[in-house]
Amino acid sequence: MALGLTLLIRAKAVELKLAVERKWFIALIAGYVWLFILYLVWMLAALYIIPAPVGT
Amino acid sequence: MQVLGTPIDYIIVGLYFAGILAFGAYFSRFTKTTHDFFFGGQRFAWWLITFSLIATGIGSYSFLKYAQAGFMRGMSSTLTYLNDWFMLPLFMFGWLPIIYFSRIKSIPEYFARRFDERVRFLATIFTLLYLLGYIGLNFYLLGLAMKTLLGLPMFITVPVVAAVSAVYVMAGGQTAVIFTDLIQGFFLYIAGAILLILGISHLGGFDAWWSHLDLAHRLPFPGFNRPHDFNYAGIFWSEGVVGTLAFTFMNQGFIMRYLACKSVYEGRKTMTVNTLVFMPISAVVVGNLGWFAASMVFKGQLPPDINPKEVFVTVANIVCRPGIFGFVIAALTAALMSTIDTLINASTAIAVFDVYKKMIKKDESDKHYLRASRIFSLVSTVIGMILVLLFTQSRSIFDAHYTFVAMITPPMLVAIFLGILWHRFSARAAFWSMVLGAIVTFTTGFFPNLITPLASTHGMDKGKTAVVAWLSQDVPDAPEGVHSMFHWQEKVDAGDPTSYFVEFEAKADFDTETPKYSGKAQAFQRVDYVDEKPIYRYSATLAGLRPRTSYVFRIVDDAGTPVVDASMNLVEQYLERHPELESTQFPRPIKLEFTTGGKYGYFRGLFSLVLVLILALIITPFTSKPDKSRLSGLTLWTIAEGKRFFKGGTPNEKPGKPVKVVFEITDESAEAGLRLSDSDLSTLSAQPGDLLYVSDIRKRLGGLRSLHIKAGESHTEIGKAYIPKVLWEESNLLTELPMRVEKIM
């Protein structure tokens, strides 16, 4: 993954000097964080380390 | 199997068909050119494309397939939908800008410009095979689903759905596809939400459902590389890498949808929201009935030996009422039509741009090609229906799907990847690596042992069978406290004469030298009486392995002939063959075997991908370097040149704000562009010559009435714009409403 992101920057496919491109690069990283949190919460709920949401 | 459907269900499905047909046909008025027919005029907002992609990404078979997977694998069945983000940066920042800015109309066209016509020819064949095969597969799977659910034969359901899809695609092209898919996406989600609510309600609430799943079913990940037919490594490489890459990089239908966005940034928004928000929701929509079924088994509401393939219909039958079931059926057909319409439009694009226009009629008017496009839409549909006949020979849904994807895509993917990443990759290298790669890929289909060296690294060797035990009346009595392996063993009473339960030491020597397993095994026989007829059920597992997802067990008779091949065995079949064995426990010796590996579905794609890549790397140094003109705007390193090509000048990246203006139509030529005031241009941070996007002030239209246009010379009337009549006619803008103007670059 790191290799791929480095490649994008080195190839200037992501032009970090442009604000809009920086925003998109941050969104990309945020996507990984989001998935990490999603899976973390899911696993903790599965293990009952945090209570699963209760509803009807 | 019980089939469902009441008259009210059929009425709802009929109304749905009629509604979609009328709605799709309405958009024919917005399709005036081939650019409209295939790319919707390249004018749409991200949210419209995102919602339309929801429906396109869910096939009709997804409900059956993922209900089955959810029942057998639990929540980890969602992994298929949640792997995409890892592969998408290259699409968002590489492939999408390359094809968008280079104004490429089809995947084969990329091959023509990056390589040469010979490679384009190959790519055309591969892409057409891929798309037409998918049309056939989707028709087949819909027919299968409808046969399962309603008992209707394929020769009725497939032509009806095909006719509806073909009519609105022929009339409205991509615009009709996008808007009908928008509706169908909503429909799918509403149906999924209804099933979710009804299922949870039936089970007594969320907590009751969740707590009645075992840990393995609650966790989001399966084992790393076990069992052979469902593990994380396999899913990552097959779905996350090969599948995702195939769908996003070489699926003409998906690419055309992204090209229909008004800008690359809108395409990125689409990809981001779709992958991070809607795909997880889609995973819940298609899999939830399987998860409920697993919980119902635990609670004793479903028999433990329910056939996983019947999970969807069984649970739908339990939770749905007449009318609601019709809604679900309509959602299934929505899922199919939204996939099929995309594929029909995409295969037509290849047929028109890369075959008809390139090889048959080169210099005709756009109107001629638009007519041809409509005819080819019909032809694609008919070919797809003919292919249904071939798919009826397929062994199973999973096999058909994976084998097809895995065998067609590796040579194309490698060519695309090296094409955008490696300047040195030449036309000759692309051609030969695709030819040889295709040969090797097809060969693995006939000689699966070729995959063994790679597959064995993930414990997915060629498949070995070992005798675990012989079951007979001589086996020891069941000891106490062994009822922990299966959910449904809570119901088992060792003293119950209808049940028989044993635990024993088992050893399995797969290759006679290295015992792969040694430990406790358990086998279970239960007899239920239905109309005084005994129904025997057998099952077995090995300690430490997950029930239902572990190794494949086979019960064979004393001659070694397999009686049943499933981890949860269907003894009705057994009794049909051996009616004389009805009254005794383990009436005659039964050999219990289990098998590891033996399926290459997951690994064939990765194996071929690696092999074709190696081939390409070996071949390339022996070929001459590609000309620089073949690289401009077509590789990761030359996207900036692509931007200049797209605009026809230096891009203006300075951020600006949109403006709202009233407009007046002029008799000027198209070259005059959109003339705005100095002040408005300043707000936009735009200059004459910059590329602008004008749209109807009503954002809810998603860009249906809009146009890309160059900024013309400025004037001094703030809040007013002048647009040439010829461009206004393209835009579908209404004269009575103001327009919104934004700068693209």
In chain A, beta strands by DSSP E? none
Q: What angle do CA B502, B505, B510 make, to 5 degrees?
A: 120
The answer to whether the CB atoms of B205 and A55 lie below 8 A apart is yes
Residue B243 DSSP code: I
The answer to whether the CB atoms of A54 and B206 lie below 8 A apart is yes
Q: Which of B46, B93, B546, B744 to mutate to test the interface with A (most CBs of A within 10 A)?
A: B93
Cα dihedral: B618, B621, B625, B626 (round 10): 0
The answer to whether the CB atoms of A46 and B640 lie below 8 A apart is no
Give the pair of three-digit tokens for residue B45. Answer: 């907002």
CA dist list (Å): B256 to A45, B38, B106, B252, B612: 40, 7, 8, 6, 26
Q: Where are the alpha helices (DSSP H) in B460-596?
A: 571-577
- Give residue-wise pLDDT tens across range B212-253: 887 878 888 877 766 656 777 777 777 777 778 888 888 898
- Give residue-wise pLDDT tens across range B592-643: 444 444 455 556 677 788 888 999 999 999 999 998 888 889 999 999 999 9
State mean pLDDT over B88-117: 92
- Residue B742's DSSP bridge partners are B693
Please count the CA atoms within 13 angstroms of the CA of B492 that sit on its side-chain side: 27
Residues in chain B closer than 8 A to A11 (CB atoms): 94, 636-637, 639
pLDDT at B355: 93
Give the pair of three-digit tokens for residue B608. Answer: 């071929």
Residue B743 DSSP code: E
pLDDT at B9: 78
SS3 B592: strand
Q: Find all residues with CB under 8 Å of B715, minimum gap 6, and list them.
A: B675, B676, B677, B678, B722
Cα dihedral: B696, B698, B700, B701 (round 10): -30
Nearest CA in chain A to B268: A24
For A7, other C-beta atoms within 10 Å of its C-beta total: 18
Lowest mean pLDDT among B405-414, B529-538, B689-698: B529-538
CA distance A6 to chain B (A): 11
The answer to whether the CB atoms of A24 and B93 lie below 8 A apart is yes
Please check whether residue B694 is in contact with residue B740, taking contact to mean a CB–CB distance below 8 angstroms. Answer: yes
CA distance B288 to chain A (A): 16
B180: left (phi over 0), alpha (psi -120 to 50) or beta: alpha
Residues in chain B closer than 8 A to A32 (CB atoms): 85
For residues B256 and B340, give the distance between their C-alpha atoms in angstroms, rounded to a whole number.
14
Supply the DSSP string of B667-722, one letter for each residue. Answer: ---GGG-BB-BHHHHHHHT--TT-EEEEEES-GGGTTSSEEEEEB---BS-TTEEE
Residue B533 DSSP code: E
pLDDT at A18: 87
The answer to whether the CB atoms of A32 and B97 lie below 8 A apart is no
Residues in chain B closer than 8 A to A42 (CB atoms): 75, 219-220
pLDDT at B206 over 90: no
Q: Has residue A40 been placed in a domain?
A: yes
CA dist list (Å): B294 to B281, B283, B539: 20, 16, 17
Q: Has residue A53 been placed in a domain?
A: no
For residues B692 and B701, give the distance between their C-alpha atoms in angstroms, rounded to a whole number.
18
* Count of residues in chain B: 745
B454 pLDDT tier (thresholds 50, 70, 90): low
The three-state (H, E, C) secondary structure of B607-668, written as one string: HHHHHHHHHHHHHHHHCCCCCHHHCCCCCHHHHHHHHHHHHCCCCCCCCCCCEEEEEEEECC
pLDDT at B322 over 70: yes
Of B610, B616, B244, the residue nearest B418 (C-alpha): B616
Q: Does A41 touch chain B (CB under 8 A)?
A: no
SS3 B370: helix
The answer to whether the CB atoms of A28 and B92 lie below 8 A apart is yes
CA distance B285 to chain A (A): 17
pLDDT at B455: 63
Lowest mean pLDDT among B34-48, B322-336, B503-517: B503-517
Q: Does A4 touch chain B (CB under 8 A)?
A: yes
Please check whether residue B227 is in contact with residue B67, taking contact to mean a CB–CB distance below 8 angstroms. Answer: no
Q: Which of A6, A15, A40, A44 to mutate to test the interface with B (most CBs of B within 10 A)?
A: A15
Q: Has residue A19 been placed in a domain?
A: yes
For residues B470 and B485, give the distance between their C-alpha atoms in angstroms, rounded to a whole number.
20
pLDDT at B394 over 70: no
Structural domain including A20 reads 2-46
SS3 B491: helix
Please count the CA atoms within 13 angstroms of the CA of B25 that sit on its side-chain side: 10
What is the tally of structural domains in chain A? 1
pLDDT at B445 over 60: yes
* Count of residues in chain A: 56
Q: Does B197 touch chain A (CB under 8 A)?
A: no
Sign, Cα dihedral of B29, B33, B35, B41: negative
Sign, Cα dihedral of B21, B23, B28, B31: negative
Q: Does A46 touch chain B (CB under 8 A)?
A: yes
Give the pair of three-digit tokens for residue B50. Answer: 């995102």
For residues B436 and B710, give the distance between their C-alpha atoms in angstroms, rounded to a whole number.
46
Q: Has residue A36 been placed in a domain?
A: yes
For residues B697 and B734, give the distance between their C-alpha atoms in angstroms, rounded to a whole number.
10
pLDDT at B619: 95
Of B80, B69, B419, the residue nearest B217 (C-alpha): B69
- Give residue-wise pLDDT tens across range B151-197: 788 888 888 888 888 888 898 888 988 988 888 888 888 888 888 89
Task: Please state the pTM of the whole predicted model.
Answer: 0.79
pLDDT at B588 over 70: no
Q: Has residue A6 been placed in a domain?
A: yes
B402 pLDDT tier (thresholds 50, 70, 90): low
- Residue B591's DSSP bridge partners are B470, B556
B250: exposed, middle or buried (Cβ count in 10 Å: 0-12, 13-18, 19+): buried
Of B631, B541, B547, B635, the residue nearest B594 (C-alpha): B541
CA distance B223 to chain A (A): 14
Give the burial string for B416-452 (b: 16+ CB within 10 Å, else e). bbbbbebbebbbbbbbbbbebbbebbeebeeebebbb
The answer to whether the CB atoms of A35 and B272 lie below 8 A apart is no
Q: Count contacts between A and B (CB, < 8 Å).
A: 84
Q: Where are the alpha helices (DSSP H) in B351-409?
A: 366-391, 397-408
Q: Does B301 touch chain A (CB under 8 A)?
A: no
pLDDT at B606: 75
Nearest CA in chain B to A54: B207
Q: Has residue A54 been placed in a domain?
A: no
Q: Does B421 touch chain A (CB under 8 A)?
A: yes
Residue with the bigger pLDDT between B588 and B372: it is: B372
Nearest CA in chain A to B642: A13
For residues B20 and B334, give the distance between their C-alpha atoms in angstroms, rounded to a whole number.
9
SS3 B265: helix
SS3 B5: coil
Of B438, B195, B439, the residue nearest B324 (C-alpha): B195
pLDDT at B371 over 80: yes
The answer to whether the CB atoms of B89 and A4 lie below 8 A apart is yes
Q: Has residue A56 been placed in a domain?
A: no
For B215, other C-beta atoms within 10 Å of its C-beta total: 11
Q: Has residue A37 been placed in a domain?
A: yes
Cα dihedral: B639, B644, B647, B653 (round 10): 80
Please check whether residue B335 is in contact with residue B285, taking contact to mean a CB–CB distance below 8 angstroms. Answer: no
Structural domains of chain B ordered from first start: 7-387 (1.20.1730.10), 464-596 (no CATH), 659-743 (2.40.40.20)
Supply the DSSP string of B354-367, one letter for each residue. Answer: IIIIIII--S--HH
Give the pair of three-digit tokens for residue B643. Answer: 């931007």
Please check whether residue B433 is in contact with residue B425, taking contact to mean a CB–CB distance below 8 angstroms. Answer: no
Give the pair of three-digit tokens for residue B160. Answer: 């009806």
